[in-house]
Amino acid sequence: MKFFVDSSAWTALFNPTDKYFAQARQAMQSIAGKEVDFITTDYVLDETLTNLQSGYRHDVAENFGVWVLSQANVQIERITEMIWDEAWAMFQQYDDKDFSFTDCTSFVVMQRLKLLEVFGFDHHFEQMKFRLWPRER
């Protein structure tokens, strides 16, 4: 099983004041012991570190960074110039949406890797026809 992981999920897992904290923790517990690969990007990690530091605490952001970089089942895709250019074109194309540029880089990476499932809570992924996990009940 493979999931792309958005900053909304990473942030929720590490910030107990996040509105999705319980849902994120429960989702992770539901897959404990299963073979799961998590794919994310350096831009998503940047966004997560910033969210945790500014929205919660620096030490938690730092702990997240140390933890995520040590996980064997977390693959970090680097945003290359080619991905950046595709994301920029997408960002310009969808001026009717409020996608962040980081969202666009994530969409491009997911399309390139043929990923459909996203561990996250950002509805923008659904607008691009990706499936959020965990799904709302």
Instruction: Write out pLDDT tens, residues 78-95.
Output: 999 999 999 999 999 999
pLDDT tens by residue, 47-67: 999 999 999 999 999 999 999
Q: Is pTM beyond 0.85 here?
A: yes
CATH number of the domain at 13, please: 3.40.50.1010
Q: Which residue, 39, 11, 25, 41, is CA-closest to 122?
A: 11
Domain count, the chain: 1
| Domain interval for residue 110 | 2-133
